Amino acid sequence: MSYYHRTYQIGLGGRLTPGVKYLLVANVIVYILQLVFRAPMLRLFGLSSFMVLHNLAIWQFVSYMFLHGGFFHIFFNMFVLWIFGSEVERAWGTKPFLKYYFITGIGAGICSFLFSLSMHTITIGASGAIYGVMLAFAMMYPDRIITLLLFLIIPISMKAKHLVTLMAVISIFSGITNLFGGSDGVAHFAHLGGMLVGYLYLKSDWRLAAAKEYLRRKLKMWQLKSEIHRIEHFQNLQRQVDQILDKINEVGYENLTEKEKKILEEASNFFTREGGKE
């Protein structure tokens, strides 16, 4: 699926799209189950380096995306998913959007796994996939103005590309700080992983789309040249046939040269083929 040559409808949030709706419902259901079975849910479905390495719990690279650390964690993730995800899904379609969502989420989980500071750290949340979705939005609409409420009070407006860049810088700084002894309980490398995987995925897809478009143009050009050559051949053959027919009228068929007779035979075969194409 190519995103390169699409025309994107401008909007933000709006009516829930099917894929976003599925993800919202799934996340809310899992969150309710978490409230009831918190410990076993975290142990079985949160992303744990220990569980992956010792119990081959590879499903956790997917399941961790549906668990959250509290009401505000899931609320803000789902709010951002609705705002940006609906826009991306409307542009791409449901299946490509969901595919991208899970690819970035799994990529974020792998990055978190690789940079995990403790075997017993459990990573949860859809933030990695959400960061990937925001990156996709910014790559499609880099100059769209996004207004944020700082401390839920102060409005701050910036372009989508600047917002995503700022978030990436904050995640890099915070992730490095955590590596050297700090700890804020946030999987910053998962956020960066979602962005990185999303960027690589979209760039590779766009390059593929560009290559397909190049081949399509080359094929069209070849077909055009072939058609021009066919028309020129037809016109040249028609001129020769007219000259030979004039000669037949003057001296008769038996006085034609072997070359002229071959031209008439070739013309007959050519016109028969062309007539059969119509």
Query: Mind listing the pLDDT tens digit of every residue in the chain (278 residues)?
Result: 444 333 333 445 567 899 999 999 999 999 999 999 989 999 999 998 889 888 899 999 999 999 998 999 999 999 999 999 999 999 888 999 999 999 999 999 998 888 775 667 888 999 999 999 999 999 888 888 877 776 667 778 888 888 888 888 888 877 777 666 656 566 777 888 899 999 999 888 766 666 567 677 777 777 777 777 777 777 887 888 888 788 788 777 777 788 877 877 787 777 776 654 54
Give the model's pLDDT for residue 180. Answer: 67
Give the model's pLDDT for residue 11. Answer: 46
- DSSP letter for 142, please: T
Give the DSSP H or E segment for 148.
Answer: strand 145-150
Amino acid at 32: I
Give the model's pLDDT for residue 8. Answer: 36
Give the model's pLDDT for residue 60. Answer: 94
The answer to whether the CB of 173 falls within 8 A of the CB of 157 is no
232-252 b/e with 16+ CB inside 10 Å = b? eeeeebeebbeebeeeeeeee
- Strand, helix or coil at 46? coil
Give the model's pLDDT for residue 6. Answer: 39
Give the model's pLDDT for residue 185. Answer: 61
pTM score, two decimals? 0.69
Give the model's pLDDT for residue 3. Answer: 44
Distance, in Å, from the CA atom of 69 to the CA atom of 51, rounded to the nearest integer, reads 19
Could you please state the CATH topology (level 3) that the domain comprising 18-216 is classified under. Rhomboid-like fold (1.20.1540)
Q: Where are the alpha helices (DSSP H) in the chain?
A: 18-36, 38-45, 49-55, 60-63, 71-80, 86-92, 94-114, 127-140, 160-179, 188-251, 258-277
> What six digits make up the tokens of 147?
């207004």
Give the model's pLDDT for residue 99. Answer: 93
Distance of CA 39 to the CA centre of its chain: 36
> What six digits make up the tokens of 141?
């609409």
